[in-house]
Amino acid sequence: MSVSNSYTQLEARFRRLSLIGGAQAILGWDRSVMMPTGSAEDRAEQSATLGVIAHELISAPEVGDLLASAEQRTADLDAWQLANLREMRRAWVHSTALTSDLVERRTRAISRAEMAWREAKARNDYAALLPHLQAVLDVTREAGQAKAAKLGCSVYEALLDEYEPDGRTTRIDRLFADLEGFLPPLLGEVLEHQASRPAPLPLKGPFPIETQRALGLELMKAVGFDFAKGRLDVSAHPFTGGTPDDVRITTRYDETDFARALMGVLHETGHAMYEAGLPPHWRHQPVGSARGMAIHESQSLLLEMQACRGRAFIDFAAPRMAAAFGGTGAAWGADNVHRVYTVVKPGFIRVDADEVTYPLHVILRYRLERAMIDGELKLADLPGAWNEGMEKSLGVRPPTDTLGCLQDIHWPDGGWGYFPTYTLGALAAAQLFAAARAADPGIEPGLARGDFAPLYHWLRETVHSQGSLLSTDALLEQATGAPLGTAAFKAHLRARYLQ
């Protein structure tokens, strides 16, 4: 049976939207990686114009009529088309909540704030960022209010929904409260356990940047990254951008510590492998897109934390690390390298945090951004609230704003509501990796050989190829037998850090 003309027209329109989004993604990557700083205003104009074009394309009056018409003939549609129609309406609701003027103002504010953040972070100058960040917060709150009215939820939940479909604070609060009850006592146990053993031997540098890059490329190839459809570059804040057929990864290097960049590269490769594995038949359609950022973050954390910090992979990687940097002796043996890669220590920087302390960084940011969106915390008071929160949850107080509230790009970049997905993703990663190993006993031996094919065969079939066909919980239940929870993550932390 042929599908309705209304549905066919919608597919054509959303294909155009996807292609415009791809162009925006490449422009955004260029802004962060290669664009001259003096070009910021020109790029802001370009990005704002594309944003308005995309907004007008999806919010045109006829789109609502096409959706209503297609929804009246659902008997014509298969499961994927039904899900695509559902995701089309979701995107339409988000877009029609905003005026073109608001979209343009939001895009301009974000573009300017991102460039201001780069300079402010480098100079430890929060005051210089403050007016730009205030502009972003004001327009973000305005957008959130408009969307909340359409979605029937709180302003923060409307912003969260941009990253995690149907995400609700009640569920996040429940999961985070569970982790807050578990992690501090565990942290104490882990630190005591570490102290009872000799400290791992240091891996002495310097580690030349070009050598770090070459090692990162070698391990990306082992994972299966396709360099014919992607690349690795440098940016102030590591990220994955581009499109499923043109994936752009960035990292940053430190010549005194190669582990930061290497694990960052593997983290972003996890994102890239998910993008590349999305269903090709549904490319440029909403149902062919990633199922929210919790699942996206699960894929980066599954690769970086679950697989590549595990002993099996370190058995493969340690000799290659030693060969790359000319390392010799016991320090470069797999046992010591594994201990170096699994040291737990409270610190200032989220992206460098270990698995035990990382969720505490996220919980703090989640509560701060909710307070700022709700008007309970003024931006001028953010540095103090940040430092107090760090001291309370992790026992450390940042000496500078560069090591504190200026460290992340998310708020200047408009990513309000994104932070919870990091820890939701960590929970999902633990569930998925446990399920994968149970389904295929060859996964761990494969990692010890640098063979990621068994792991990615399971992930392609179970997660990547599903796109946005299912909800987050339905996808996890289908893959692991349970909705998102904390049990697998807790078991993983205890097994890795207390044995």
Burial 299-330 (b: 16+ CB within 10 A, else e): bbbbbbbbbbbbbbbbbbbbeebbebbebeee
Residues in the chain, total = 499
Per the listing, tokens 């982790």 go with 179
For residue 446, which of 428, 459, 427 has the smallest C-alpha distance?
Answer: 459
Angle between helices 311-325 and 209-223 (to 10 degrees): 140
What DSSP state is assigned to residue 469?
S
Nearest to 14 by CA among 414, 289, 294: 289
114 catalytic per annotation: no
* Matching residue, tokens 């969307």: 147
Q: What is the Cα gyration radius of the chain?
A: 23
d(CA 176, CA 362): 9
Q: Please state, in angstroms and rounded to a whole number, the distance separating the CA atoms of residues 231 and 251.
A: 11
164 touches 293 (CB < 8 A) = yes
* DSSP one-letter string for 74-102: GGG--HHHHHHHHHHHHHHHHHHTS-HHH
Look-up of token digits 């940053």:
252
Cross-strand pairs, 248: 231, 241
Decide: residue 433, CB within 10 A, 0-12 exposed, 13-18 middle, 19+ buried. Answer: buried
Residue in the block written with tokens 């043996």:
333
69 torsion bin: left (phi>0), alpha (psi -120 to 50), beta (else) = alpha
List 162, 268, 297, 369, catalytic entry: 268
Tokens of 260: 């930061």
In sequence order, which ranges of 255-381 are alpha helices (DSSP H)?
Answer: 258-277, 292-301, 311-325, 334-341, 358-373
Contact between 237 and 424 (Cβ < 8 Å): no
Catalytic residues: 268
